[in-house]
Amino acid sequence: MRTRNAILLGAWWTTLAAAAVIVRVLSPGMLEGGDGVQHYQIARYSWQHPELFLDHWGKPLFTLLSSPFAQLGHWGMTLFNACCLFATCWVVAPLLDRAGLVAKWLYAPMLLFVPVYGTMVLAGMTEVLFGLLTVVVLGCLYAERYAAALVVLSFMPFSRPEYLGFAPFVLIWLIYRRQWRWSPLLLVGHLIYGVLGWIFLGDPLWTINRDPYTGAGSIYGSGDPLHFVDHVQEIYGVPLVACLWLSIICLAYLWRTQPTERRHLALLTVICLLPTIAIGAIHSILWWQGWKGSLGLLRVLATTAPIISIFTLWCVVRVANEWFTTRAGRTLVVASGGGLYFWWAVNSFLTNQPIPVQNDATGRFLSEVSRKAMDAMVDGSRLIYFHPQVAYFADMDPWDEDRALRSWGLDPGAPMMGMRAGDVLVWDAHFGPNEGGTQLKTLLDRPDLDLVEVCVPWERMQVLGGHVFEAYLFVARPSKCRSTEVPVLAEGAFLDSTISCRIDTLVCDGRGDLLCLRSGEFPFEISGLPLFEGEALYSEIVVEGEYGVLEGSLDEVDLVVTEDLAESRLGYWAQPLKGGHFKSRFSIPARGSRSSVKLYVWNKHGRPIYLKGLSLVVVRTSRQ
């Protein structure tokens, strides 16, 4: 019977793991196009560039174990995480023996449909491996294999930095069990990777000296200390959060009524519940203070999903077994409670992450940018880029310096910034000014970089730092751009009588800089702007002023720019105005045939509003 149950459980885990892989294969889009793509690239090209096995940011243990799967393509990272999901369930099964067979069947779907965990399985991210290692350590402690637990724990720093929130509680348990003599084994992983670093990098302390999580506070900023608490339902899903509160009540009940279970309950509390709280608290503090490159990413708590799911499931099911002692009663509870939870968890997951994963606007845009960059290349030229998806869509090895190069290492003081003549540089507004530390104006002002194309997505997107997401393609060759400003509006007055406009004005207080607009959805509209002249490469519409309401509460309105060609819409860019001063910039690429551009105010609430000190300037950029 035990063998039959083991086979059926294995088939159940395999089915769920395979379902995740199938969803990924059938999804036109992918999750985590930034970090996820970089982890994939590091793993995929580590066989060609062995130094990547010691890339600190890439997580050396993750790179080592996932690299064979990465050779299959990006979906291979999902296959690797699906294997980690299966291994997690297999390791956890003995821990759930005392809770019963039902708990073993429920654990896999309970874990997979934790929103932040399931999405990381699909994305092929590092958090899933770390979660597996936590349950391996837990399993070793449960089996009193303390040496094995500490050896595994010693390698966890090379999978995720959340090790710092997990390891102290393992040591507390060892002290509690009077097994502290095994603690020197914590150095095994560090010694092995230290020797490897000494041999291949010349630095036995490379894990300290090459810490990638420094100096990014000015880029990523900081936030609310309760950020993760406020998003806890989005992270773990409403079903798990509700059951977690119930499990804490069940913990107190079992501690009081089942003295024989106290050791197991203590293990689950110290190794599962407390590290979950600690890891969440550490990330909250880091984001609050802007330390260690924290960006407040919710996905980091996927590392705790396996252990908190064990704690929750064990406590709840164990109490259910106490209260329902007959076979019929337990069957009823399983059929109703388990089925209800499964339905609830699936719906909670799909609310946070619809599947299959669609190709988002960023992916579509960068795919097109990559295609245009490849078209601009000639024999012998290289692709220089900031955003990792550019090289991903171009299917280029980022570490093959004869074909591609991550532009973070370019020298601003060198001719053509150290590039070779003919190299194509792709600057994007996300990675370029942030991680890349390169402002667009720096490139536009250089006489040795030729701007060949400006790419804007169909719909306006804002990225890190409040930048509008755009991409600029340069070729390393002599050239220089010239910008010309053409004022259109100044202090609410038109400077060009040829501009086509429609303004539904009201009588104001007599001030010339105040435009009072009537009630209506579209009270302000301008077209026929002098965007292009001669060999202009692109133009910017710069709008500045102050927005407010004449009566009632302040509501958001949109400043919208549309671009149309014949019956086809080429772009729709909306900038929300929430009251007070605003300054918006809209880039319009020069196209082979002239398009129609319109700027208007979308007054959603329809009440009278005003625009104070409104100015509009067209900035035309062309080759000098």
pLDDT the model gives residue 339 = 78
User: For the residues of 131-153, what is the DSSP string, one character each?
Assistant: HHHHHHHHHHHHTT-HHHHHHHH
Question: So what's the pLDDT on residue 176?
Answer: 92
- Whether the pLDDT of residue 317 is over 60: the answer is yes
Does 508 have pLDDT greater than 80?
no
In the chain, where are the structural domains located? 2-352, 361-479, 483-623
257 contacts: CB under 8 Å, gap ≥ 6: 322
Residue 519's pLDDT is 81
Chain position carrying tokens 């105010």: 601
544-581 pLDDT tens trace = 999 988 777 778 889 999 988 877 888 899 989 888 89
pLDDT, position 331: 65
CA angle 96, 99, 104 (to 5 degrees): 50
Characterize the bridge pairing of strands 493-494 and 580-589: unpaired
* Cα angle for residues 357, 359, 364 (degrees, 5° grid): 170
pLDDT at 599: 92
Averaged over 114-128, what is the pLDDT?
A: 95
> What is the spatial distance between Cα 82 and Cα 75, in angstroms, rounded to a whole number?
11
Tokens describing residue 263: 């050791």
Read off the pLDDT of each residue in 318-322 and give the average, rounded to a whole number.
Answer: 81
Angle at 156 between CA 152 and CA 158, to 5 degrees: 130
Token pair, residue 256, equals 């009081």
d(CA 152, CA 297) in angstroms, rounded, equals 26
**What pLDDT, in 10s, does the model give residues 202-221?**
888 888 888 877 765 566 77
Share of the chain above pLDDT 90, in %: 46
CA distance 315 to 308: 11
Q: What is the pLDDT of residue 78?
A: 96
Q: Is 264 exposed, middle or buried (0-12, 13-18, 19+ CB in 10 A)?
A: middle
Q: Give the three-class secondary structure for 319.
A: helix
CB of 615 closer than 8 Å to CB of 545: yes
* Averaged pLDDT of the chain: 88
Tokens of 531: 């965007």
Tell me the CB-side half-sphere exposure of residue 213, using CA atoms within 13 A. 18
- pLDDT at position 282 over 70: yes
pTM summary value = 0.89
Pick the CATH number of 483-623 from 3.40.630.30, 3.50.50.60, 3.40.50.10860, 2.60.120.1310: 2.60.120.1310
The C-alpha atoms of residue 311 and residue 273 are separated, in whole angstroms, by 7
Do 418 and 397 form a contact (C-beta atoms < 8 A)? Answer: no
Average pLDDT for residues 146-169, to the nearest whole number?
95
CA pair distance 206, 137, nearest whole angstrom: 26
Write down how long the chain is: 624
- pLDDT value of residue 593: 60
Band of residue 99 on the pLDDT scale cut at 50, 70, 90: confident
Dump pLDDT digits (tens) for 218-244.
667 788 889 899 999 999 999 999 999
**Segment 37-51, tens digit of pLDDT:** 999 999 999 999 999
In our burial notation (b when 16+ CB lie closer than 10 A, e otherwise), range 585-610 reads bbbbbbeeeebebebbbbbeeebbbb
Residue 335 banded pLDDT, cuts 50, 70, 90: low
